[in-house]
Structure 1
């Protein structure tokens, strides 16, 4: 599956805003909601909530995509985000605020780099992992 490169970047903008609010409010429930969003994106790039918003509300106003990218690195990045958001939620909800803030900060840095500069750290980690482990065999 190929994705319009603007979709994951849009999702990163929304994620950045959500994670900033999460950090400021120290909300474990908001971190948990973001973890669910990441989990859905990790399972299916087509059904990712922020990607769906992009496809329905934004993409029709932008015209056809100029570039596409494979979905697998994006799904891997969403899985990594899920781990950090889950740790953040557990931290905030259990009273370990420092753990919640650190996990939120890591996810926020990654989302911001993608939103602002188009640098997807999770995607880069996926590509590095694939180089190290070799291609998948069916």
Structure 2
């Protein structure tokens, strides 16, 4: 499946705003909401995330068709990484370990900001590295000794 990269950047921009609000307010429920958004994108695909739906309804009609599409696998993996950080952050804020909540939220924010501002998807790059690593291990196993 292919996705519009502009939608991924737009979702990253919305995520950036949400995560900044979490850092400013230390609101565990807002971070839990963002974790739910990450979970939906991870489990059901980035095209079905709430931010993607808003992009398709409100933004994409004003932009026209994309010049190119990208595979959905790397952004979906990136959403999973964001989910992990959001869950750790939510646990930190919920249990009163503010430094853990703040640190995990800041890590997720850094990745979202890189994508929103520069089009650099850190989670997507991690996906490619993991994919290459797994492919290398598989090819090494298949080579006769």
TM over 0.5: yes
Distance 2:115 2:2 in 1: 18
Q: CA deviation at 1:56?
A: 0.8
Alignment partner, residue 118 of structure 1: 119
Superposed CA offset, 1:52-78 (max 9, x none): 110111000000101110000000000
Distance 1:101 1:40 in 2: 23
* 1:5 counterpart = 2:5: yes
Q: CA deviation at 1:3?
A: 0.4
Alignment partner, residue 73 of structure 1: 74
Q: CA deviation at 1:130?
A: 0.4
**3-state SS of paired residue (2:70):** strand
What's the RMSD between the two structures over aligned residues?
Answer: 1.2
Distance 2:58 2:102 in 1: 32
Alignment partner, residue 16 of structure 2: 16
Distance 1:53 1:130 in 2: 30
TM-score under structure 1 normalisation?
A: 0.96
How many residue pairs end up in the alignment?
136
Alignment partner, residue 85 of structure 2: 84
Superposed CA offset, 1:94-131 (max 9, x none): 10000000000000000000000000000000001001
Structure 2 unmatched runs, 5+: 139-145
Alignment partner, residue 29 of structure 1: 29
**3-state SS of paired residue (2:19):** helix
Distance 2:135 2:27 in 1: 40
Q: CA deviation at 1:34?
A: 0.3
